[in-house]
């Protein structure tokens, strides 16, 4: 076997083990670090330099060629600008999903193929089989939710060996066996491209906000927020409201700069029995049956549903009510272990 595989080395343990395993299996492996973001945020240093060094160290340890692709301009246009625009509109986007669609499984794939690769590989917790996408064996880490917008053509050119591992401990154990410097490196937290910085701190660098009223379900002003852009449906923490019962965000008005809350966990504004999706994408073909399962946010439980076409939207009827369905977030469809696609919640 001499197929050339370009592995996206992020500087983390999952992609490091991906490269090690594929080389052991006989592939001609090249490691590639994608430089997507390098800008520091006040109080937070972008970790790209350290991640780059770790990725390069792994390549040296495995004795494989190493490259860096600079995608920073494209990333800013396709992912960051999209994210900021969505937040300004009052929606809650998912930059990881857009990154997978536009950068990792489009730009990286195209660049690698033009550079001589036959396939690419990533450290995602998911399984790929002939252009179809399946839930990882280690379900607690499954990342198919973030991959639902990847095309069938891209998946046919992609290998994801981490999806066959049974636990994170198993991945780290393999990394230790190979003596990789990333074996004990902690998983990254925060926004996918900025490191430990939170979304609020990041947005404050690009969006001017002013305080506004927090209003309860009876129309009473119960507090003040720092900017409606920072709040999302179902949110409980980050509300500076004193008193006994916890408050939950049930809506917001960007024009009035108001955030609406309730103390009633059973409030009808918090629960949905149906939802509409736009900009939907099927990985393969649209399923012939309309009885599917759906996940309305990462790690939420799968809920049975049916789908109906409605002009340019998809109407989804849920078998059970789902809490905190958030405009701008993605809802992803499954059939048993297979991820079929999904769309953006209206």
Residue carrying the six token digits 């109080």: 43
Bridge partners, 121 (sequence order):
7, 159
Q: What letter would DSSP give residue 191?
A: S
On whether the CB atoms of residues 28 and 2 are closer than 8 A, the answer is yes
Q: Which residues fall within 8 angstroms of residue 167, CB to CB, at 6 or more apart?
A: 138
Angle (nearest 5°) at CA 324 between 322 and 325:
75
Is 25:168 a contact under the CB 8 Å cutoff? Answer: no
DSSP label at 41?
B
| C-alpha span between 23 and 20 (Å, rounded) | 5
DSSP β-bridge partners for residue 5 = 29, 119
Determine which one of 46, 192, 305, 339 is catalytic.
192
Say which of 46, 99, 305, 339 is annotated catalytic: 99
To the query of whether residue 339 is one of the catalytic residues in this protein, the response is: no
Look-up of token digits 């958030």: 326
Q: 120, 165, 174, 121: which is closest to 142 by C-alpha?
A: 165
Residue 305 among the catalytic residues: no
The dihedral formed by the CA atoms of 323, 324, 326 and 329, expressed in degrees to the nearest 10? -70
Catalytic sites, residue numbers: 99, 192
């Amino acid at each position: 076997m001499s197929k050339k595989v370009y592995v996206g080395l992020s500087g983390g343990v999952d992609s490091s083990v991906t490269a090690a395993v594929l080389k052991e299996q006989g592939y001609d492996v090249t490691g590639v670090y994608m430089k997507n973001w390098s800008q520091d945020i006040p109080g937070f240093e972008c970790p790209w330099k350290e991640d780059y060094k770790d990725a390069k160290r792994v390549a040296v340890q495995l004795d494989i060629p190493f490259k860096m692709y600079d995608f920073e301009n494209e990333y800013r246009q396709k992912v960051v600008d999209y994210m900021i625009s969505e937040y300004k509109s009052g929606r809650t986007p998912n930059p990881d999903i857009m990154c997978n669609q536009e950068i990792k499984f489009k730009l990286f794939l195209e660049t690698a193929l033009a550079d001589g690769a036959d396939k690419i590989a990533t450290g995602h917790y998911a399984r790929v089989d002939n252009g179809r996408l399946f839930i990882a064996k280690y379900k607690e880490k499954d990342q198919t939710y973030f991959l639902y917008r990847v095309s069938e053509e891209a998946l046919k050119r992609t290998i994801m060996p981490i999806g066959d591992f049974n636990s994170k401990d198993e991945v780290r154990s393999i990394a230790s066996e190979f003596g990789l410097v990333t074996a004990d490196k902690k998983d990254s937290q925060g926004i996918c491209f900025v490191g430990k910085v939170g979304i609020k701190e990041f947005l404050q660098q690009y969006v001017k906000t002013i305080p506004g009223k927090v209003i309860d379900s009876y129309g009473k002003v119960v507090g003040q927020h720092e900017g409606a852009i920072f709040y999302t449906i179902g949110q409980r923490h980050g509300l500076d409201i004193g008193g006994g019962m916890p408050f939950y965000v049930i809506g917001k008005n960007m024009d009035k700069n108001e955030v609406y809350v309730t103390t009633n966990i059973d409030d009808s504004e918090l629960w949905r029995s149906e939802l509409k999706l736009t900009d939907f994408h099927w990985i393969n073909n649209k399923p012939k049956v309309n009885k599917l399962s759906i996940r309305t946010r990462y790690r939420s439980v799968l809920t049975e549903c049916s789908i109906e076409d409605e002009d340019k939207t998809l109407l989804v009827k849920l078998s059970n009510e789902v809490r905190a369905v958030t405009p701008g977030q993605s809802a992803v469809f499954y059939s048993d272990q297979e991820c079929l696609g999904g769309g953006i919640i209206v």
